[in-house]
Homo-oligomer: A and B are copies of this chain.
Amino acid sequence: MSLSESDPTGLHRVLDAAVVLPQAAARLDTRRDLWPDEVRIRVERLNLDAASYRQLERKHAGDGERVRAEVLEIVTTRGKMQNPETGSGGMLVGTVEEVGSKSPLGLAVGDHVATLVSLTLTPLVIEDGLARWDGRSEQVPCDGYAVLFGRSIAAVIPDDLPTELSLSVMDVCGAPALTARVVGEYDGPTVAVIGGGGKSGSLSLAAAREAGARHLIGVVPHEHEAEALRAAGLADEVVVADARNPVELRDAVAKAGGPADVTVVCVDVPGCEGGAILCTADRGTVVFFSMATSFAAAALGAEGLAADVTMIVGNGYVPGHAAYAMELLRSNHGVRTLFESRLH
């Protein structure tokens, strides 16, 4: 490919010798000029991925100056914010500064947006040395610019909601959209959401209801979370169980009206694959949104249990996912209450 042509995946900005996608690249080209299908964003804030920020904080024993210095060095060296230890990035908030003539993203100059693709594949230049950041929080005030590709995703931040609240919803917006799609493939199914009290879990419960679930089971790890979820009214039954204990989870879901036709896993702890499989009915579907999911544990677990279940890798992208999640937040009082209680 000639350098004058762009690729919707951003391949034309990879500076590595080997052919790799931007996410896998060591270094990206951060030139300011746009290829025709690109968009440039004036950045106002970076939200570092929680795992990445915690690693940096630990490494530098909470010394904010050194955390800031390392973030600056990573971005300068790599042309993107990707923590070399955790491999993760985060997202950013900013304003559209320029739109290439062939951009398919539907954005206009001046739009206030959040990027829904990871910082790990987004060309980024920091221009203020992060002078307004003390290095002590994953919220990073920042002046600089970032580039979106033809296949990137950004969502306009609504005017009618607090920005914090919108970002908190957008962060997990893939889960409710995919849950709705899967639930819609069944006829009045029973749906269990493991981790139903969390951000992606509560949105998934609301989405499952909208998509036609007949019986909704929310599983949470502690009684106080159960109370909050019961008060929110998102599930027909709320049960307390340790999702890492397969038999406890199976029995809890069975008692609450299971097995489930669709099981949605939203808890970020390892070892939940067996339980999720066991609480799912024959010909049911398990959707794994947890990044702690082990592919081998899921594949071998289902085989070892002779479980005829479809297991889906929770893809964070479904067209229209951000708008759909915002709609759920606006229309569902229970969801909104749970999200707002988390921000205070």
Closest partner residue, chain B, to A302 (CB atom):
B315
A144: interface (CB < 8 Å): no
A314: interface (CB < 8 Å): yes
Closest partner residue, chain B, to A152 (CB atom):
B306
Q: Is the Cβ of B304 less than 8 Å from the Cβ of A120?
A: yes
Q: Is the Cβ of B307 less than 8 Å from the Cβ of A24?
A: no
Closest partner residue, chain B, to A271 (CB atom):
B24
Chain A, range 214-233, C-beta contacts under 8 Å to B: none
List the B side residues contacting A300 at CB < 8 Å: 23, 118, 120, 316
Q: Is the Cβ of B303 less than 8 Å from the Cβ of A117?
A: yes
Contact-size category for A: 35 or more
A17: interface (CB < 8 Å): no
Q: Is the Cβ of B308 less than 8 Å from the Cβ of A245?
A: no
Q: Given A245-B19, A288-B295, A312-B312, verify A303-B24 contact (CB < 8 Å).
A: no
A313: interface (CB < 8 Å): yes
What would be 13 A-B contacts, judged by CB atoms less than 8 Å apart? A20-B246, A21-B274, A21-B304, A120-B300, A152-B306, A153-B306, A293-B295, A294-B295, A295-B313, A299-B315, A303-B317, A307-B317, A308-B317
Q: Is the Cβ of B317 less than 8 Å from the Cβ of A19?
A: no
List the B side residues contacting A298 at CB < 8 Å: 295, 313
**Smallest CB-CB A-B distances: 7 pairs:** A303-B316, A311-B313, A302-B315, A295-B295, A151-B306, A303-B317, A293-B295
Q: Is the Cβ of A21 less than 8 Å from the Cβ of B310?
A: no
List the B side residues contacting A152 at CB < 8 Å: 306
A309: interface (CB < 8 Å): yes
Closest partner residue, chain B, to A87 (CB atom):
B296
Complex CA gap A245/B17 in Å reads 13
Complex CA gap A171/B32 in Å reads 54
List the B side residues contacting A278 at CB < 8 Å: 9
Q: Is the Cβ of A313 less than 8 Å from the Cβ of B312?
A: yes
A11: interface (CB < 8 Å): yes
A141: interface (CB < 8 Å): no
Complex CA gap A318/B282 in Å reads 10
Complex CA gap A36/B120 in Å reads 55
Digit string of A302-338 for contact with B (CB within 8 Å is 1, else 0)? 1111111111111111110000000000000000000
Complex CA gap A152/B272 in Å reads 21
Q: Is the Cβ of A309 less than 8 Å from the Cβ of B315?
A: yes
List the B side residues contacting A259 at CB < 8 Å: none
List the B side residues contacting A174 at CB < 8 Å: 303
Q: Is the Cβ of A117 less than 8 Å from the Cβ of B304?
A: yes
Given contacts A9-B278, A121-B304, 7 further A-B contacts (CB under 8 A): A19-B247, A20-B246, A23-B304, A118-B304, A302-B315, A302-B317, A308-B315
A291: interface (CB < 8 Å): yes
Q: Is the Cβ of A151 less than 8 Å from the Cβ of B311?
A: no
